[in-house]
Structure 1
Amino acid sequence: MTLRVSLVAAARSSSRLAERFDDDRPLDQAGWHEVQLVAHTLVPLGAAELRYCSPTPRSRATGNALGFAPMAQPALRDWDMGRWRGLTLGEVTAREPAAVDHWLADPRSAPHGGESMLGFIGRVGGWLDTRPAAEGLVVAVAEPAVIRAALVYALNAPPSAYWNVDVRPLSTITLTGLPGRWSLSLEAGIR
């Protein structure tokens, strides 16, 4: 029995340079336009037996715009960045350069007072491994950080691999397998 879990990256809510930690802004005009452009290619995922989303406004809006009517899952929430929430990496680096260096180098650290990278990857992996172990399809619209964490977990990659995964808006990846035994299938997304 193999489970398929398709993860769809939420549409954009800001330019990539203006992305903020733990951002909960709704979709912007460009995001809505991107959803309209690719919705027809993602329609088959709407047939999933279980449909979830991160509890962020843009993930919920993306899932609803795609016709998934997803259920918000707290375990799929974005990385808890503590006091850095709402700031850009540039802003945090200007204020706390040593803390940013430590955070980037040590996946156990949480100088922002939120979640460590290992804790975040473990939380997302725990959600993945508790999906019903039956044949079928699960779809989840999530923030890019959540999809990166799921990939690192599923592939049993070192935490540093997280920084090498680029998740673009509305890109889709599918993990197939069972708890603790996942394989990756790549599919095209927005460029």
Structure 2
Amino acid sequence: MPRLFLISHASTPAQQHVRFPADDPLSERGRRELDRATPPVVDRTITAPEIRAVDTAAALGWSATVEPALRDLDYAKWSAVQMSSIAEDELAAWLTDPDAAPHGGESIAHLIARVGAWLDTFDESPERIGAVTHPAIIKAAVVHALGAPASAFWRVDVRPLSVTRLNGRGERWTVRLG
């Protein structure tokens, strides 16, 4: 059974300024976080294609292969926009309806389905895989692994450089804490 270590990228300016991400670099804070990071021991490494994930993987000393399925949620017209400047009704719809996509990008329900489809491709290999990706991807993976409703997405909190471990394969995954 594969063991998947999902690592959230280090901090970015978007996180510090409460704005939706674009293809942001790491912030100085993120670089300091990486100085203290101890990555898990893995057999192979993959990363999301965005610069913040690629740079996090490199700073961890990993020569990771880009995995397109780990790309961040498509925020479309909200990319690089401060959350406080989004119309209140649009933001409320997005935060309460997993099928809503008022930004013209990807809905939370679609994201969970996309990440779930990727998780379903894993076979019974006993490999330990390190994957640097985004908080939204990790939250979607946890919701899928637990078989939780899409509305549970907002109840999962993912900090920069946190490690979320999933064990399993295909449609059977468990979340391992600690």
TM range (shorter): over 0.9
1:145 aligns with 2:130: no
| Residues 150-183 of structure 1, C-alpha deviations (whole Å, 9 max, x = no match) | 1111111111111111111111011001111111
Equivalent in the alignment of 2:97: 106
Gaps of 5+ in 2: none
What TM-score do you get using the length of structure 2 for normalisation? 0.93
Quick one: which of 130, 133, 152 aligns to 2:121? 130
Quick one: which of 79, 83, 86 aligns to 1:85? 79
Quick one: which of 168, 175, 179 aligns to 2:170? 179
Q: Equivalent residue of 2:176, what SS?
A: strand
Give the C-alpha shift of residue 184 in structure 1. Answer: 0.8
Give the C-alpha shift of residue 128 in structure 1. Answer: 1.5
User: C-alpha separation between the residues in 1 aligned to 2:138 and 2:82?
Assistant: 20
1:75 aligns with 2:69: yes
1:8 aligns with 2:2: no
What TM-score do you get using the length of structure 1 for normalisation? 0.87
Percent same amino acid at aligned positions?
40
Aligned positions, number: 178
User: C-alpha separation between the residues in 2 aligned to 1:154 and 1:71?
Assistant: 23
Contact 1:172 1:186 in 2 (8 A): no
Contact 2:123 2:169 in 1 (8 A): no
Quick one: which of 146, 152, 162 aligns to 2:153? 162
| Residues 72-91 of structure 1, C-alpha deviations (whole Å, 9 max, x = no match) | 11111111011111112212
Divergent runs of 4+, >4 A: none
Q: Alpha carbons of 1:32 and 1:4: their partners in 2 closer, same or farther (altered >3 Å)?
A: same
Give the C-alpha shift of residue 17 in structure 1. Answer: 4.6
| Residues 41-93 of structure 1, C-alpha deviations (whole Å, 9 max, x = no match) | 21x43x32x3111111111000011111111111111110111111122121x
RMSD, aligned CA: 1.5
Equivalent in the alignment of 1:33: 32
